[in-house]
Amino acid sequence: MLNFTSTLDLSFPMIPVTPTIEDKALDALAIEDKKRQYVATENYLEDVLLSALATSE
């Protein structure tokens, strides 16, 4: 005989489906950090290129 009266264990943590304000803020900070890294890399490569051009003269 089957017993259908047992309950399900729902004690696992629930993950929100929609992003929270904190998630959005962290995403914005990560994007700004990547922009700063891009600019710093671009400036570094420009300095290296100009230095290489100056030494070849």
- Which pLDDT score, from 0 to 100, does residue 34 have? 98
- Which pLDDT score, from 0 to 100, does residue 8 have? 59
Q: pLDDT confidence of 19, banded at 50, 70, 90? A: confident
Region at 49 (left for phi over 0; alpha for psi -120 to 50; beta for the rest):
alpha
Q: At residue 39, does pLDDT exceed 90?
A: yes
Region 23-49 average pLDDT: 96
CA distance 47 to 40: 11
* pTM reported for the whole predicted model: 0.58
The domain segmentation of the chain, as residue ranges, is: 19-57
